[in-house]
Amino acid sequence: MPLDPHVRRLLAMMALGGAAPPGPEQRRQAQRLLARLAGTEALPVIAQAVTLPLPSGAREARLFTPLACRAPGPGIVFLHGGGLVAGDLDTHDAIGSRLAAASACRVLAVSYRLAPEHPFPAAIEDAVAAMHCVAAMARRLGIDPEHLAVAGESAGAGLAARLCQELRGTGPAIAAQLLLCPVLDLRCIAASHREFASGYLLDAATVRHDIEACGIAGLVDTPRVSPLLEPDLTGLPPARIHTAACDPFRDDGAAYAERLAQSGVPVVQSCHPGMIHFFYGLGRLVPAARPLLSQIAADFGALLRGDAALPAQSPMHDDQRRTS
């Protein structure tokens, strides 16, 4: 599968720069640098700080409200990626803003405790607690609690998937889930993990260090760490799963979509050709990235609204694989 020319150039530049030791602080510095290089842009969205009172303590969140958004309306809780070691509201501000603008929905980006300072299960505990908290205060945020969804990217998408599993049947109800390059199986045994083990932004060495930092080396075969391994997927929210053709976790996303479909869950899985892990966050570095994220967000917003003007099952890419 040929790489997008701008992706190829980015990877070549990274290779020239050499590889930094993938420890937690280096991981965080790299995430911040990538966010700066990807850049920001002015969008018709208002961002405001929100504090969520979680059992683990007050957690920062950021509410993105499209200027044309009327309350109450659909809302999306967004969980950032970074291997549960890196990433924060600032590094993922551009993603949250574009999700809101293109979906025409309020997006609440939430922070959670990171490893190694807060090892597993701190992140998933915070994610579950945040969903309860947001549901309880939804109307104050301008969100219709009957149309509250969850989205995540990379490790945050893994949290989102597991969050849906853990809250199934117990509440709060989740209207839909959007998983971007989800990390769903940390056993890392699928063929794509071997095919893209190095040289494609996220490499196997970084994943191993993240696993060690989180203290989950002995738990990768459990559903709470690897949601793909959850034995029962019935009754989960409708899903939109987006993978990149040149991503170690590509095959896991496809496998999860297949299992969801077999369990009767409405799901559309799109594999974006020429793209790598975190393509949606590469901004000005990859000109195709922002339009792709806008298209992804618009489709998800239409799903939440039941908008007939943009069918939720509409094709999103020529090389899309769809399961429903």
Residue 277 annotated as catalytic: yes
Half-sphere CA count of 129, side-chain side, radius 13 A: 19
* In contact, 202 and 281? CB cutoff 8 Å: no
Which tokens go with 149?
């969804």
Q: What number of other Cβ atoms are within 10 A of residue 199's Cβ?
A: 12
Tokens 């191993």 sit at which residue? 208
Which tokens go with 278?
């975190």
Q: What is the distance between the alpha carbons of residues 178 and 159, in angstroms, rounded to a whole number?
A: 11
Residue 198 annotated as catalytic: no
Candidate list 247, 251, 252, 299, residue with the active-site label: 247
Candidate list 103, 154, 192, 270, residue with the active-site label: 154
Q: Which residues contact 161 (CB under 8 A, 6 or more apart)?
A: 152, 177, 179, 182, 184, 227, 256
Candidate list 97, 185, 277, 299, residue with the active-site label: 277
Tokens 């950021």 sit at which residue? 62
Coil, strand or helix at 153: strand
Residue 154 annotated as catalytic: yes
Catalytically active residues are 154, 247, 277
